[in-house]
Amino acid sequence: MGQPHVVTLRATRAGDLDELFRFRQDPEASRMAAFTPGDGHDRDAFDARWARLIAEPEVDVRTIRADGVIVGDLVRWSDDGATFIGYWIDTAHWGEGIATRALRLFVDAVHDRPLLAHVAADNAGSIRVLEKLGFAQAGSAVSFANARGLDIEERIYRLD
């Protein structure tokens, strides 16, 4: 696809789930995301989790499209009074600026602050995206990464 001309976000629909599930089956993507559900290869569990996310009014789930093609998703949720953001981009589109464009659209439209994001310390691509958007490292922790089967360092980024 090369550099996309148009990156858009829209509410995630049940019809998007085939692609979103397929993206999560890529071993490289799972390894970089690190903090995935333990049942990441179970389609029924995936569908049930996403049905809950889509139905939950306090959760904002968006499908990322580049030139009309589904290439990922973005999720915003709250936990213990803090607001978090996470995203997933198909590995076929890494390095094309899609994540930066999609997150820019989102953070410009959503005024919840601070926004927090957790990222594996070795996920240089996601760290670059967050920093381009003005997120700053606010802490770190060691947590169990299901996709890697071990404890790893995660960094906590914050946008005020």
Q: Quick: pLDDT tens for 38-72.
A: 777 899 999 999 999 999 999 999 999 999 999 99
The residue assigned the tokens 């959503």 is: 110
Q: Which CATH number applies to 7-113: 3.40.50.1970, 3.40.630.30, 3.30.420.10, 2.60.40.10?
A: 3.40.630.30
Q: Where are the domains of the chain?
A: 7-113
pTM: 0.92
Q: How much helix, strand and coil, in percent to the nearest 5, is found in the chain? A: 35, 35, 30
Closest CA relative to residue 4, chosen from 124, 95, 132: 95
**Residues 29, 92: contact at Cβ < 8 Å?**
no
**Residues 21, 70: contact at Cβ < 8 Å?**
no
The type of residue at 4 is P
Q: Quick: pLDDT tens for 95-127.
A: 999 999 999 999 999 888 999 999 999 999 999
CA distances from 149 to 37, 42, 64, 144 (A): 11, 17, 28, 7
